[in-house]
Amino acid sequence: MSDEAPVRFDTKIAVLLREDLETWQRLNVTAFLVSGLGTQLPEVIGDPYEDADGVGYLPMFRQPVLVFEGTKETLTTAHARVLSRALPRALFTSDLFTTGNDRDNRAAVRAVSTDGLDLVGIAVYGPRNAVDKVMKGARMHP
């Protein structure tokens, strides 16, 4: 056991899901949302893993991902907040449940104005306080 103090990050990764999603949708949306963060923000990715037998594994986020849920209105408010703060973000709309590939996903989002997006999930990364303000009104996912 280590006597070192626990690591406290000055940044936060958070996912906000709409509360009316089916379980499979929650898992799928979360996986898609967080996949975008590591591609654009290399600082969120830790070092590769290796087990005691020397078998290597891919690196993962260096910090926890907090998952929240809220109403459609909570998502709309959080989306406006994340945009006003210009934080790195990813989104998932209800239209993406009907597409089957990245090209069609991007076209579905591109076809709708910002105010008209039917959000079912967003992910955000940034300073702890800023992310906390974006997630205000959401509750931790059970």
pLDDT tens string, the chain, 142 residues long: the values are 556 777 788 999 999 999 999 999 999 999 999 998 988 899 999 999 999 999 999 999 999 999 999 999 999 999 999 999 999 999 999 999 999 899 999 999 999 999 999 999 999 999 999 999 999 999 998 8
Task: Quote the pLDDT of residue 38.
Answer: 86
Q: What is the C-alpha separation between 106 and 90, in angstroms, rounded?
A: 12
Whether residue 103 is contained in a domain is answered as yes
79 within 8 A of 123, measured Cβ to Cβ? no
Q: What is the CATH number of the domain that holds 36?
A: 3.40.1490.10
Question: What local confidence, expressed as pLDDT, does residue 94 receive?
Answer: 96
Task: Tell whether 72 is covered by a domain.
Answer: yes
Residue range(s) defining the domain that contains residue 126: 11-140
Residue 3 lies in a domain: no
What pLDDT shows up at residue 9? 87
Q: Does residue 113 belong to any structural domain of this protein?
A: yes
pLDDT of residue 8: 82
Residue 41 lies in a domain: yes
Establish if 21 belongs to a structural domain.
yes
Rounded CA gap, 30 and 67, in Å? 8
Residue 127 CB burial class (10 angstroms; 0-12, 13-18, ≥19): middle
State the residue for tokens 């891919």.
58
How many domains, in total, are found in the chain? Answer: 1
Q: Residue 120 in 3-state DSSP?
A: strand
Whether 1 is in a domain gets the answer no
CA–CA distance, 139 with 114 (Å, rounded to integer): 24
Q: What are phi and psi of 109, to 5 degrees?
A: -70, -45
- Give the DSSP per-residue string, 1-61: ---SPPP--SEEEEEEEETT--HHHHHHHHHHHHHHHHHH-GGGB-PPEE-TT--EE---B
Q: With respect to residue 2, please indicate whether it lies within any of the assigned structural domains.
A: no
Write down the pLDDT at residue 142: 83
